[in-house]
Amino acid sequence: MKMYSPWARFYSNSCCLCCHVRTGTIILGVWYLIINSLVLLILLSALADPDLYHLSSNDLRNEFYYMDEANMCIATSVSLLMILICAMATYGAYKQHAAWIIPFFCYQIFDFALNSLVAVSVLVYPNTIQDYLQQLPSSFPYKEEILSVNPTCLVVIILFFISVILAFKAYLISCVWNCYRYINSRNSSDVLVYVTTNDTTVLLPQYEDSASGTSKEPPPPYMSA
């Protein structure tokens, strides 16, 4: 009996919207690229006009001026790094270079771990939610309505939304991982195979994934002398 890895059952060449995992990874990379580009534009505009992000209080402005500017520079550097990682993932999926997808996959794992820690902290320290809501500005929409909700129900609602987000992020991680495996398996099987009979040498076509819906006609057999 042929043994399969327990992770093989989670491997699939298709993802949401019935598209190929390679197409899904390209779409995901472009989406993250657009989001981080918009964030970078906002940060650059804030750096160009300091009044957009400095505190309105004159007493606190001088105290936090340098810290705010340093944080903005760090956030700008992170945005540039994310743009580079997303561009690498998009290019790697398009050109079928598996190694280029690894940084984006590592970022997904790191982001999933951070969100999991948030869910654990909410579960272990539920009172921190009320403290956080109290610190929100009075102009925050529906602040009073949220504070009036039963604390237990509020924790359950927040944990539900975090669980949905974690499930969605886990699905995206599996799509990128399946794309990485698909490209690796395709590159390893993309070789020429010769089958020789008594008087004929036949060149078999290269491996094509059945999900892609494309196939190549085999070349005519080469008759050996």
Tens digit of pLDDT for each residue in 70-104?
777 888 889 999 999 999 999 999 998 989 999 99
pLDDT for the residue 2: 40
Q: Across the chain, what does the average pLDDT equal?
A: 74
Q: Domain limits of the chain?
A: 16-190, 191-225
pTM higher than 0.95, yes or no?
no
DSSP 161-195: HHHHHHHHHHHHHHHHHHHHHHHHHHHHH---EEE
Residue 171 φ then ψ, to 5°: -65, -40
Residue-wise pLDDT for 4-28, tens only, equals 444 444 445 666 556 788 888 999 9
Q: What percent of the chain clears pLDDT 90, i.e. is strictly above it? A: 28
The highest-confidence range among 74-83, 106-115, 179-188, 211-220, by mean pLDDT, is 106-115
207 against 198, higher pLDDT = 198
Q: How far is CA 105 from CA 85, 110, 116, 167, 169, in A?
A: 9, 9, 17, 16, 11
